[in-house]
């Protein structure tokens, strides 16, 4: 069974997550739709849990056996545990691997990953495989919603025909079809699945109405109907490309100001006093995650197919992808000034996750930084409290032991306790603060070289 196919073996799991507070279940007097969520990852599982909490019968589909095992042992996967303010009702979700079960659902929501290949071209395989698996079981009258992030045209030109053909369904008549791009900000204490506004595009008015009503009831957030499904696909591309280019802007400034000896973070804070027309972003060791460094490539590829070259988006991707190498070069020069060559230098890297206080390492700049260090011949020790199983060391102190330099690659709260004393005790001579989140003077005042990104 290749990784994208669903087995025929039904696996029904009754599960209730430990340490979950029972939240009053709404009365189930009104018969709510049965909802099938295809893909129980960072997007799908919270969605399934929320639909369950709202009183829907929820079927969860996933091909990830280890995730299902996690759930079977009532262990919430790390990405759920990372959201400590999340309160999930004790619930039962029928987690299945046999895709025929979607025949029992009136609403089917597809939340599978849409990554890119090594060459940055879109990899639609997981999404196409999931759609192919469920298509034969979609019953007349079902609403299918795609939440996966895709470029304009994927829903209508690729996925919808698959769904219609497999069972002889007809859009807007026997098949309702919509796109509601996922928006999630892991680790954000303020914005969560329930309160983040959403946009919905659909293949016709019936589909739009049903999808908009579904999300209006499910979420406590404004739902904006879009005129077309392509507009909804484009919204997600635009919002995430916007973020990527703005981060690239400050990353380029950081590289420039490093030579000018100007503190870019101070300048950004100064610019932020302008009450309009400026939105602060901050430079760092790179851009990670399953969205920001990925989504622009979908738009670049789709536009290219239609004869347009997104030069600006490409430059932004190149700038952001170059930050780990920029950071390693800064460290290499600082080591050289102390008579230490990068080859065989011992460097500790603190933080493997792509952003603070979560365990997700997808597209993490930390990993690219480690590769860059090893390419330069350095010996690397690593520690991340959120991913001990991926770390070579068992603690910060352990990672620092024997190191000549340390790179802080993720701004986990736990690393705020890093002190000049800890470094001096371990004879660590240089600290590179890849997230500009430690006080420079705390180290320079004790004779330790502190390098920031643009400061």
CB–CB of 158/179 below 8 Å? no
- Give yes or no for residue 82 binding ligand SAJ (CB under 6 A): no
What's the closest the beta carbon of residue 188 comes to ligand SAJ, in angstroms? 7
Q: Write each residue from 45 to 74 as x if it is in contact with ligand SAJ (CB under 6 A), else as -, in one continuous string.
A: ------------------------------
What DSSP letter does each residue of 35-64 carry, written as one string? EEEE--STTHHHHHHHHHHTT-EEEEE---
3-state secondary structure of 242: helix
Please confirm, yes or no, whether 180 is among the known catalytic residues: no
Exposure pattern of 210-231 as b/e (b: 16+ CB <10 Å)? bbbebbeebbebebebbeebbe
With 0-12 / 13-18 / 19 or more C-beta atoms within 10 angstroms meaning exposed / middle / buried, residue 406 is buried
* Half-sphere exposure at residue 197, Cβ-oriented, CA atoms within 13 angstroms: 8
User: Which residue's CB is nearer to ligand SAJ, number 124 or number 247?
Assistant: 247
State the distance between the two ends of the chain, measured CA to CA, in whole angstroms: 51
**CA-to-CA distance for 452 and 59, rounded, in angstroms?**
48
What's the closest the beta carbon of residue 342 comes to ligand SAJ, in angstroms? 24
User: Which residue's CB is nearer to ligand SAJ, number 32 or number 367?
Assistant: 367
Instruction: Out of 214, 282, 298, 443, name the contact with ligand SAJ by CB under 6 A.
Output: 282
3-state secondary structure of 452: strand
- Give yes or no for residue 354 binding ligand SAJ (CB under 6 A): yes
What's the closest the beta carbon of residue 243 comes to ligand SAJ, in angstroms? 5
**CA-to-CA distance for 346 and 328, rounded, in angstroms?**
13
**How many helices and strands, by DSSP H and E, does the chain display?**
15, 13
What's the closest the beta carbon of residue 366 comes to ligand SAJ, in angstroms? 9
User: Which residue's CB is nearer to ligand SAJ, number 94 or number 244?
Assistant: 244
**CA triplet 38, 390, 401: central angle to 5 degrees?**
160
What's the closest the beta carbon of residue 66 comes to ligand SAJ, in angstroms? 22
**CA-to-CA distance for 352 and 360, rounded, in angstroms?**
8
- Give yes or no for residue 174 binding ligand SAJ (CB under 6 A): no
- Give yes or no for residue 135 binding ligand SAJ (CB under 6 A): no
User: Which residue's CB is nearer to ligand SAJ, number 6 or number 42?
Assistant: 42
**CA-to-CA distance for 255 and 325, rounded, in angstroms?**
12
What's the closest the beta carbon of residue 240 comes to ligand SAJ, in angstroms? 5
Instruction: Out of 122, 201, 289, 324, name the contact with ligand SAJ by CB under 6 A.
Output: 289
What's the closest the beta carbon of residue 323 comes to ligand SAJ, in angstroms? 8
User: Which residue's CB is nearer to ligand SAJ, number 288 or number 324?
Assistant: 288
- Give yes or no for residue 294 binding ligand SAJ (CB under 6 A): no
CB–CB of 207/232 below 8 Å? no
Q: Write each residue from 208 to 247 as x if it is in contact with ligand SAJ (CB under 6 A), else as -, in one continuous string.
A: --------------------------------x--x---x
Q: Are strands 430-433 and 57-61 parallel, antiparallel or unpaired?
A: unpaired
Instruction: Out of 94, 156, 182, 376, name the contact with ligand SAJ by CB under 6 A.
Output: 182
**CA-to-CA distance for 147 and 48, rounded, in angstroms?**
13
- Give yes or no for residue 357 binding ligand SAJ (CB under 6 A): no
**10 Å Cβ neighbour count for 87?**
12
- Enter the tokens of residue 277: 């027309």
User: Which residue's CB is nearer to ligand SAJ, number 247 or number 319?
Assistant: 247
Catalytic residue among 111, 155, 180, 291: 291
Stretch that binds ligand SAJ, among 17-25, 208-216, 266-274, 289-297 (CB under 6 A): 289-297
Instruction: Out of 291, 313, 347, 418, name the contact with ligand SAJ by CB under 6 A.
Output: 291
Q: Write each residue from 311 to 350 as x if it is in contact with ligand SAJ (CB under 6 A), else as -, in one continuous string.
A: ----------------------------------------
- Give yes or no for residue 186 binding ligand SAJ (CB under 6 A): yes
> Binding residues for ligand SAJ, how many (CB under 6 A)?
18
Backbone angles phi, psi at 401, to 5 degrees: -60, 120
- Give yes or no for residue 297 binding ligand SAJ (CB under 6 A): no
CB–CB of 374/401 below 8 Å? no
- Beta-carbon contacts of 225 under 8 Å, excluding residues fewer than 6 positions away, are 199, 200, 201, 202, 208, 212
User: Which residue's CB is nearer to ligand SAJ, number 32 or number 186?
Assistant: 186
Would you tell me which residues interact with ligand SAJ (CB under 6 A)? 182-186, 240, 243, 247, 281-282, 284, 287-289, 291-292, 354-355
Active site residues: 291
């Amino acid at each position: 069974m290749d990784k994208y196919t669903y087995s025929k073996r039904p696996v029904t799991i009754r599960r209730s997550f430990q340490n979950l507070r029972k939240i009053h279940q709404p009365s189930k007097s009104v018969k709510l739709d049965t909802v099938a969520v295809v893909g129980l990852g960072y997007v799908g599982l919270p969605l399934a849990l929320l639909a369950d909490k709202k009183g829907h019968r929820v079927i969860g589909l996933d091909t990830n056996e280890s995730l299902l095992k996690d759930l079977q042992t009532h262990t919430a996967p790390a990405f759920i545990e990372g959201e400590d303010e999340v309160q999930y009702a004790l619930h039962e979700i029928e987690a299945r691997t046999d895709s025929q079960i979607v025949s029992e659902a009136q609403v089917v929501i597809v939340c599978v990953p849409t990554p890119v290949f090594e060459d940055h071209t879109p990899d639609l395989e997981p999404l196409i495989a999931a759609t192919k698996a469920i298509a034969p079981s979609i019953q007349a009258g079902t609403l299918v919603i795609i939440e996966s992030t895709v470029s304009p045209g994927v829903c209508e030109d690729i996925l919808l025909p698959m769904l219609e053909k497999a069972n002889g369904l007809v859009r807007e008549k026997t098949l309702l079809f919509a796109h509601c791009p996922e928006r999630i900000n892991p680790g954000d204490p303020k914005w969560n699945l329930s309160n983040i506004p959403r946009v919905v595009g659909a293949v016709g008015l019936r589909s739009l109405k049903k999808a908009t009503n579904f999300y209006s009831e499910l979420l406590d957030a404004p739902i904006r109907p879009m005129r077309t499904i392509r507009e909804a696909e484009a919204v997600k591309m635009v919002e995430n490309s916007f973020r990527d280019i703005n981060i690239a802007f400050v990353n380029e400034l950081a590289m420039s100001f490093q030579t000018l000896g100007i503190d870019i973070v101070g300048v950004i804070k100064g610019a932020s006093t302008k009450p309009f027309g400026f939105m602060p972003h901050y430079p760092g060791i790179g851009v990670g995650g399953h969205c920001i460094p990925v989504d622009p490539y979908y738009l670049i590829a789709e536009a290219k197919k239609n004869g347009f070259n997104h030069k600006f988006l490409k430059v932004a991707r190149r700038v952001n992808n170059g930050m780990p190498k920029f950071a390693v070069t800064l460290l290499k020069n600082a080591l050289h000034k102390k008579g230490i060559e990068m080859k065989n230098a011992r460097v500790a890297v603190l933080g493997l996750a792509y952003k603070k206080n979560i365990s997700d390492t997808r597209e993490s700049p930390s990993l690219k930084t480690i590769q860059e260090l090893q390419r330069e011949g350095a010996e690397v020790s690593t520690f991340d409290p959120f991913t001990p199983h991926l770390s070579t060391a068992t603690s910060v102190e352990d990672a620092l032991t024997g190191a000549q330099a340390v790179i802080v690659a993720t701004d986990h709260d736990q690393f705020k306790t890093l002190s000049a004393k800890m470094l001096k005790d371990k004879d660590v001579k240089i600290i590179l603060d890849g997230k500009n989140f430690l006080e420079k003077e705390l180290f320079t005042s004790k004779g330790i070289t502190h390098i920031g990104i643009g400061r």
